[in-house]
Structure 1
Amino acid sequence: MEARFCLSCGQRLEVRSMGGENRKACPSCSFVFWGNYSIGVGALIMKDKKILLVRRCQEPGKGLWTNPGGYIEQYEPIEKSIVREVYEETGIKSRVKGIVAIGDLPRNVHNVYLVFLMDYIEGHPQADKVEVDDAGFFSQNDMELMDVADLTRRLACIAFEQPSYGLISDTKPMLSLPNYGLYHVQRL
């Protein structure tokens, strides 16, 4: 969707040069439309040297096997988003270890994709039959015979190599920025 009107006061937006880029800005107030963005999350969950995969039953990627995931909600911390998405799609309870990959797809809606290494807690994979029609834990050999999405194949390599935790959540709250989530590299 293209922004044509100010989200603050409703005035028609105009194009201004700002920081070397043309931006839509309101001539009546200080609102600037910085662009359309979405933040996706994906999970890498291992159990018994197998990775949790789901088969998508809707576009994009209908029929392909992928790692479970989805999109964050407006007021939901990203760690809760990925735990929720995994549970909704598969019935698996999991816990975040850290962020091990970041995808970046600039386009009409700029997509940023955060990939979490997760701990398996409990449950048996059961597809939600809404977004996915099958779910299970699969070995690298199993995956050779499956129609796995290219990105998922790359991410599965990370999981099978047993990476470090990557970026981990900083659990120390910042009083000046309540609810701000910060991830950093763990000191070795």
Structure 2
Amino acid sequence: MAVNFCMSCGHPMETREVDGVERRVCTACGNVHWGNYSIGVGALVFKDEKMLLVRRAQEPGKGKWTNPGGYIEQLEPIEQTIVREVLEETGIQAEVKSIVAVRDQPRSIHNVYIAFEMAYVEGEPRPDEVEVDQAGFFSLEEMKDMELASFTRWLLDVALHVDKNGLTIDQKATAAGNGDVYFRL
């Protein structure tokens, strides 16, 4: 879908070449619409050698088991997003340990998905009954008979074969910044 009006000033947009690509540009203020993007996050939370999973109650993937996750809010730091999503969907308190995987899906709405390894803090799994209808910790043996989403199977493999700690928050750079959070090996 084409962007017809400027999100900054409300004037009409037109197509112009910017940086060698046709883009929508405001006829009044020159604001460039760079594209449609979404950032998703997912949690890999383990407790007693079992992984936290949820069964989706909505499409896409209704009925499939996945790791908890969701989408970042406009002004929400990403490490707060994943903590919030895990708590909302499962009632589990968890904290970020590291980033262990990134998936890039260049489509009409370009999606980037960031998977976090998280430390279990407390709580018993309970589904939110909106996005998920079941939640629990499951062993590898139990997962064999479950309908896991293929991407979740890939993330499970990532979690089981992490050679390093993944990307962790660089506390020094983050503290010196302007609210930005930096992750590094």
TM-score (norm 1): 0.93
State the Cα distance separating 1:80 from its structure 2 match: 0.4
State the Cα distance separating 1:160 from its structure 2 match: 2.5
Q: Distance in 2 between matches of 1:91 and 1:169?
A: 24
Tell me which residue corresponds to 2:140.
Answer: 140
Tell me which residue corresponds to 2:82.
Answer: 82
State the Cα distance separating 1:11 from its structure 2 match: 1.5
CA deviations on 1:5-51 (whole Å, 9 max, x unpaired) are: 11112121111111121111112212000011111000001111111
Kept in 2: contact 1:46–1:159 (CA 8 A)? no
Tell me which residue corresponds to 2:122.
Answer: 122
Give the share of equivalent positions with the same residue, in percent: 55
Q: Distance in 1 between matches of 2:117 and 2:85?
A: 14
Q: Distance in 1 between matches of 2:62 and 2:163?
A: 29
| Structure 1 segment 30-179 matched on structure 2, within 5 A | 30-172=30-172, 173=174, 175=176, 177-179=177-179
Kept in 2: contact 1:49–1:160 (CA 8 A)? no
SS in 2 for 1:59: coil
State the Cα distance separating 1:2 from its structure 2 match: 3.5
Tell me which residue corresponds to 1:12.
Answer: 12
4+ residue runs over 4 A deviation: none
The residue type paired with residue 87 of structure 1 is L
> Is 34-43 or 23-32 further displaced after alignment?
23-32
State the Cα distance separating 1:3 from its structure 2 match: 1.3
Listed as ranges, the gaps of 5+ residues in structure 2 are none
State the Cα distance separating 1:164 from its structure 2 match: 2.6
State the Cα distance separating 1:122 from its structure 2 match: 0.8
Aligned residues: 184
Kept in 1: contact 2:41–2:71 (CA 8 A)? yes
CA deviations on 1:137-182 (whole Å, 9 max, x unpaired) are: 111111110000000001011222355321111122365x511111
Q: Distance in 1 between matches of 2:134 and 2:2?
A: 36
The residue type paired with residue 182 of structure 1 is Y
Kept in 1: contact 2:64–2:149 (CA 8 A)? yes
| Structure 1 segment 21-36 matched on structure 2, within 5 A | 21-36=21-36
Listed as ranges, the gaps of 5+ residues in structure 1 are none
